[in-house]
């Protein structure tokens, strides 16, 4: 055995070669977290929804410089307590160019999926008759599969979101802190105050208040494409940024 | 358990803690079992919970008009059966008055009829405060939507809060957390 061979043998003794290990598997990417709109975010994409006449609408295109999005229910008595004040706020600020959208995501009110187009079913007749009966001037879009509710992380009806001139979310929460309309002189008019500032060009520091109302009746996880109960199913390009 | 719930002790239950302090440490009342229905204002609800100091309590806010509340009731019953068997207390707080133009008697009648149909076998207090903002302030918890479940430990402190519907497993986990 020559010197080189001895050194090679010695190196094996001193530095044993580890057994051949399988190449490490490439790390699996962590499951993507559901994208949820945060304060300061813009809504990205078009948020394709149907209106209550069954006509496809692109909510993103409907959103004006200042936009209020409210998650709505025709059955929730807590929402009903705020209906007339929401209508009045809409009346007061529409002239300033503020856009108001109401989104019904409750599977119990609109069904899990739109009716097949070949069937002549007026799926949203109850919503339409409710608005007519209560004389509410609300533009209601239907959110089958609660995709938009998931994106917005909306929990209740009502649950109000306000987007500023730049399209960024500046407020999320209550209409005001007086659900029974008993303290008109002393209540905090969150939505009205935010819109007042925005329409005057004043800066609004993004903030939230704790929502209050009826839980949105979502489609169960098993019935939803992708099987996730919350988020992650925003339908392609729609989402927050 | 949903992201909105917490297993950590929540220090926000100060109104109840203060109430517990005034209730003294007398012998605990026997655990209320079986269906009973009575109207209480929010202070009365807190007194009811405080009277059961020393026993873990799971409080479920619901209403007969609330679809998700009614839908989760079988899971609430199943998920807390063992907990109640171990002496834990479940109490429902029916929020019938909110937005509905009905009196207390009518609210109690609605709750009784629905509770029987749902097979509820635990006490239900019909909350006569119809303004959730008032209930929030008095209970000392930022209650959001219905249904809503709170659990209190033996010391009367809030252990967990769950907003929205819960599964049987989630109810069971909340109940166990209250027993620790």
Residues of A in contact with B137 (CB under 8 A): none
Q: How high does pLDDT run on average in chain B? A: 84
Cα separations (Å) of A103 from A76, A225, A228?
14, 20, 21
Hey, are the CB atoms on A213 and B68 less than 8 Å from each other?
no
For residues B97 and B99, what is the distance between their CA atoms, to the nearest angstrom? 6
CA pair distance A84, B16, nearest whole angstrom: 35
pLDDT higher at A137 or A35: A137
In the structure, what pLDDT confidence band is assigned to residue B25 with cuts at 50, 70 and 90? Answer: very low
Residue A232 has pLDDT above 90, yes or no: no
Q: Looking at the complex, does the CB of residue B125 fall below 8 Å from at least one CB of chain A? A: no
Using CA atoms, how far apart are residues B33 and B84, in angstroms rounded to an integer? 8
Window 191-210 of A, Cβ < 8 Å to B:
210
* Cα–Cα distance list, A45 to A59, A61, B67 (Å): 9, 9, 32
Q: What does DSSP assign to residue A42?
A: B
Using CB atoms and an 8 Å cut-off, which of residues 68-107 of chain B contact chain A?
Answer: 68, 98-100
Mean pLDDT across the stretch A7-30?
A: 49
Q: Is B43 within 8 Å of B132 (Cβ atoms)? A: no
Q: Which residues of A touch B165 (CB under 8 A)?
A: 215
User: How deeply is B85 buried, as exposed, middle or buried, from its count of CB atoms within 10 A (0-12, 13-18, 19+)?
Assistant: exposed
> Per-residue pLDDT for A186 more than 50?
yes
pLDDT attached to residue A3: 43
What's the alpha-carbon Rg for chain A, to the nearest Å?
26
Question: Distance of CA A169 to CAs A150, A160, A164, B61, Å?
Answer: 16, 11, 6, 31
**Per-residue pLDDT at A14:** 38
- Tens of pLDDT along A60-81? 777 768 999 999 999 999 999 9
Q: Are A10 and A207 in contact (CB under 8 A)?
A: no
SS3 label, residue B118: helix
Q: How many helices (H) and strands (E) does chain B have?
A: 7, 7
Total CB pairs under 8 A between chain A and B: 59
pLDDT of residue A25: 63
pLDDT digits 0-9 by tens, B80-138: 999 999 999 999 999 986 555 788 999 999 999 999 999 999 999 999 987 888 888 89
Q: How many angstroms separate the CA atoms of A123 and B119, rounded?
A: 33
**Predicted ipTM of the assembly:** 0.78
């Amino acid at each position: 055995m020559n010197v080189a061979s001895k050194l090679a043998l010695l190196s094996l003794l001193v530095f044993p070669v580890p057994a051949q290990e399988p190449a490490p598997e490439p790390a699996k990417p962590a499951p993507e977290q559901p994208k949820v709109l945060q304060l300061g975010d813009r809504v990205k994409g078009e948020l394709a929804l149907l209106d209550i006449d069954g006509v496809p609408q692109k909510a993103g295109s409907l959103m004006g410089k200042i936009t209020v999005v409210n998650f709505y229910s025709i059955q929730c008595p807590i929402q009903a307590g705020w209906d007339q004040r929401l209508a009045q706020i809409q009346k007061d600020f529409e002239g300033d160019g503020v856009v108001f959208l109401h989104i019904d995501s409750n599977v119990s009110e609109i069904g899990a999926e739109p009716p097949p187009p070949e069937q002549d079913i007026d799926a949203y007749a109850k919503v339409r008759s409710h608005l007519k009966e209560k004389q509410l001037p609300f533009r209601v879009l239907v959110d089958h599969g609660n995709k938009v509710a998931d994106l917005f992380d909306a929990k209740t009806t009502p649950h109000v979101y306000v987007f500023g001139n730049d399209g960024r979310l500046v407020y999320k929460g209550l209409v005001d802190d007086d659900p029974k309309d008993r303290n008109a002189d002393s209540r905090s008019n969150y939505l009205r105050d935010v819109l007042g500032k925005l329409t005057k060009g004043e800066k609004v520091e993004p903030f939230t208040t704790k929502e209050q109302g009826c839980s949105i009746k979502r489609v169960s996880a098993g019935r939803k494409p992708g099987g996730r109960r919350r988020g992650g199913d925003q339908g392609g390009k729609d989402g927050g940024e | 358990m949903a992201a909105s719930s917490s297993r950590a002790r929540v220090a926000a239950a100060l109104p109840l803690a203060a109430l517990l302090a005034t209730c003294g440490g007398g012998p605990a009342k026997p655990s209320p079992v079986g269906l009973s229905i009575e109207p209480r204002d929010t202070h009365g609800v807190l007194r009811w919970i405080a009277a059961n100091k020393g026993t873990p309590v799971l409080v479920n806010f619901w209403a007969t008009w609330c679809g998700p509340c009614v839908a989760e009731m079988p899971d609430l019953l199943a998920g807390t059966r063992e907990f109640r068997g171990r002496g834990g207390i479940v109490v429902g707080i029916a929020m019938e008055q909110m937005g509905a133009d009905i009196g207390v008697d009518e609210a109690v009648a609605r709750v009784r009829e629905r509770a029987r149909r749902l097979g509820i076998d635990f006490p239900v207090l019909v909350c006569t405060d119809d303004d959730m903002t008032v209930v929030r302030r008095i209970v000392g918890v930022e209650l959001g939507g219905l249904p809503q479940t709170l659990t209190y430990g033996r010391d009367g402190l809030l252990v967990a809060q769950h907003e929205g519907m819960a599964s049987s497993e989630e109810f069971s986990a909340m109940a166990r957390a209250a027993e620790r």
